[in-house]
């Protein structure tokens, strides 16, 4: 008795390579410029954001000078809240900038937590 053999299945094709055109990360100066240029945020909101960023930078400088308050965990929470606020303002009217900020978030955090990089701003 002859047993029929099932035909061989074609080999699975490899997964497509990720896009080479990844969104570049932003530094603080380019982020500041792009936020100034966007039409997704009104003038008064931009001024309020600038004040919040200035306060956050002052808190980071105080932390790097060895002051006990604010602690790094508190700074991370303030940074995350500010990022969420900016993203909520941008997500519908400037999704390209919102995506660039999401991709740059950890890079920006790295700049803020490094005393030498922060001093260079």
Q: How far apart are CA 39 and CA 15, in angstroms?
A: 38
Q: For residue 73, report the phi and psi dihedrals to the nearest 5 degrees.
A: -60, -40
Domain ranges, ordered by start, for the chain? 46-119
C-alpha neighbours within 13 Å on the C-beta side of residue 21: 0
Question: What is the reported pTM?
Answer: 0.79
Neighbours of 35 (CB within 10 A): 21
CB 103 within 8 A of CB 25: yes
| pLDDT tens column, 29-75 | 999 999 999 999 999 999 999 999 999 999 999 999 999 999 999 99
């Amino acid at each position: 008795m002859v047993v029929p053999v099932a035909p061989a299945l074609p080999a699975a094709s490899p997964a497509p390579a990720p896009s080479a055109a990844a969104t570049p990360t932003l530094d603080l100066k380019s982020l500041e410029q792009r936020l100034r240029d966007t039409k997704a945020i009104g003038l008064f909101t931009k001024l309020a954001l600038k004040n919040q960023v200035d306060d956050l930078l002052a808190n980071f400088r105080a932390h790097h000078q060895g002051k006990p308050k604010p602690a790094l965990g508190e700074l991370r929470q303030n940074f995350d809240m500010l990022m969420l606020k900016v993203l909520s303002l941008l997500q519908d009217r400037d999704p390209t900038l919102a995506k660039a900020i999401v991709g740059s978030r950890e890079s920006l955090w790295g700049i803020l937590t490094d005393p030498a990089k922060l001093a260079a701003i």
